[in-house]
Amino acid sequence: MSSSGIVDSQQRLLAGLRTFRSEIYPEREAAYKKLVREGQKPHALFITCADSRIDPELLTRSGPGEIFVARNIGNLVPGYGEMLGGVSAIIEYAVAALNVSQVVICGHTDCGAMKGLLHPDKLDIMPTVKLWLRNGEAALSVVRAKNPGATDEEVLPPLIEENVLLQMRQLSTHPAVAGRLAQGTLAIRGWVYDIAQGMVRILDEETGKFTPFDQLSVSESAYGAKR
């Protein structure tokens, strides 16, 4: 990025801060102060991609303190003990300390991380990203096996969905999650967000398919059975 690009970026951030301070904060001051007094009580942990085109709070119409968000390249969840770090700590804190009721793993269309899985040679200049994406390799293996001879373009949509399923399974290996699942006090949900269409498809656990949320029944849209 050029020096002019750096200046432009800084100016845009500062302009946003001014708007927040002069317009948004005054309208929500009481709510923010209440959150400080009473602490945060999010009802869900929302794990999604770091892609800048996704805004979890806007997508779910959530306000401050309502959802606990974790973002990373590819909305990946390493199996417990494989890569203990930030993601594992966030999961443990959200489930054991904040007592969230559900964990949503949200993939999205046009995912650069999944494209990286399809073209690992393009990640040679990003060795850390390449290593991180190993947490999604099993999804690619499954999709390749189910779609022999398919082009990368054809493979990408099912890979995005299969990756969400894989991360849901890996999430359940975390002790805090496994315990809450056994108690029936926690649910794991899979979403795929279509950026261009503004549509979210949710895993229907009866059919095993991702279905537009507005086509689910009332009970299903409440996410159906717990995993």
Q: Quick one: 31 and 117 in the same domain?
A: no
Q: Quick one: 54 and 28 in the same domain?
A: no
Tell me the average pLDDT across 95-101: 98
Q: What's the pLDDT tens digit per position in 12-61?
A: 999 999 999 999 999 999 999 999 999 999 999 999 999 999 999 999 99
Secondary structure class of 184 (helix, strand, coil): coil
Q: What's the pLDDT tens digit per position in 169-181?
A: 999 999 999 999 9
Distance between start and end Cα atoms, the chain: 45
Place of tokens 């108690």: 183
Domain with 23 in it: 1-39
Q: What is the pTM of this model?
A: 0.92
Residues 121-148, buried b or exposed e (16+ Cβ, 10 A)? eebeeeeeebebbebbebbbebbeeeee
Is 158 a domain residue?
A: yes
Do residues 215 and 203 lie in contact, with contact meaning Cβ atoms separated by under 8 Å?
no
Q: Quick one: 23 and 105 in the same domain?
A: no
Do residues 174 and 227 lie in contact, with contact meaning Cβ atoms separated by under 8 Å?
no
